[in-house]
């Protein structure tokens, strides 16, 4: 399973990259705003700066919600760097835009997926990735992990190449469940990735090993 980090913070992206397990980055307009990035030129510059840190795919989201606007913005984003994946919302014109980009060989990530039907539509249009939002579904009382399972079954039934990018990951259990089901990618905060490191038996075991070594070498 590929690990993407879900942030627009350059220091966190660098830290995740240096950790050695990072395969890509996802952003969204809220994450860009959180970093105080505004104005078209600054936004484009920031995406380029992210691309310069990582080796893998970098999802950059369009703001337009009409077909022509999404095409215009998406083409501009794609020209920035070959790592850019144009992130398109799951709306009617979005599906048309995904079809357009897939025919032009430009990678897309269909975002804001909350049902298996939406994922199926995006895959049929040729999306490179679909992003089901697990955490946000959990927040509303539905099981986000069930959705990943449903989409996995559907994509496997028909051999879709579209990758499942489990998004809105909140904790390490989400990551493990996604890996069990066979999600192709997960995107989450650095804290959820680093939480995979932790186990009390590891910590206690290491403390004991080091204490025994110190005693023997005193």
Tell the smallest beta-carbon distance from residue 206 to ligand E4P (Å). 32
Tell the smallest beta-carbon distance from residue 69 to ligand E4P (Å). 20
Between 129 and 155, CB nearer to ligand E4P: 129
Between 84 and 159, CB nearer to ligand E4P: 84
CA 120 – CA 131 distance, rounded (Å)? 12
Classify residue 91 as exposed, middle or buried by CB count within 10 Å of its CB (0-12, 13-18, 19+). Answer: middle
Q: Residues 2, 34, 45, 87: which is the catalytic one? A: 87
CA 145 – CA 218 distance, rounded (Å)? 52
User: Which DSSP letter does residue 167 get?
Assistant: B
Tokens of 104: 């032009």
Between 6 and 163, CB nearer to ligand E4P: 6
Which neighbouring-strand residues pair with 163? 129
Residue 39: name the closest of 63, 59, 57 by CA. Answer: 63
Produce one character per residue of 142-160: b if its CB has 16 or more CB atoms within 10 Å, e if not: eebbebbbbbbebbeeeeb
Between 65 and 204, CB nearer to ligand E4P: 65
Cα–Cα distance list, 180 to 88, 149, 153 (Å): 27, 10, 13
Tell the smallest beta-carbon distance from residue 200 to ligand E4P (Å). 27
CA 33 – CA 37 distance, rounded (Å)? 5
Tell the smallest beta-carbon distance from residue 13 to ligand E4P (Å). 13
Residues forming contacts to ligand E4P in the complex (CB under 6 A) are 6, 26, 28, 111, 131, 133, 135-136, 167-168, 187
Between 56 and 135, CB nearer to ligand E4P: 135
Number of Cβ within a 10 Å radius of residue 11: 10
Q: 198 an active-site residue? A: no
Tell the smallest beta-carbon distance from residue 93 to ligand E4P (Å). 19
Catalytic center residues: 87
């Amino acid at each position: 399973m590929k690990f993407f980090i879900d942030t627009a913070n350059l220091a966190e992206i660098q830290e995740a990259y240096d950790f050695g397990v990072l395969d890509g980055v996802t952003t969204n307009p809220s994450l860009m705003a959180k970093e105080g990035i505004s104005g078209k030129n600054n936004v484009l510059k920031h995406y380029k700066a992210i691309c310069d840190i990582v080796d893998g795919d970098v999802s950059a989201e369009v703001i337009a919600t009409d077909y022509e606007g999404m095409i215009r913005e998406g083409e501009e984003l794609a020209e920035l760097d070959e790592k850019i994946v144009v992130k398109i919302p799951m709306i009617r014109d979005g599906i048309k835009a995904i079809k357009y980009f897939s025919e032009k060989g430009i990678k897309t990530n269909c975002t804001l997926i909350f049902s298996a039907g939406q994922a199926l539509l995006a895959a049929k249009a040729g999306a490179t990735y679909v992003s089901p939002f697990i955490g946000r579904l959990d927040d509303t009382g539905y099981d986000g992990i069930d959705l990943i399972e449903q989409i996995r079954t559907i994509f496997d039934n028909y051999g879709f190449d579209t990758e499942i990018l489990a998004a809105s990951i909140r904790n390490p259990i989400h990551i493990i469940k996604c890996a069990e089901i066979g999600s192709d990618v997960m995107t989450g905060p650095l804290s959820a990735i680093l939480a995979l490191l932790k186990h009390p038996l590891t910590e206690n075991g290491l403390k004991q090993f080091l204490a025994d070594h110190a005693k023997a070498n005193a």
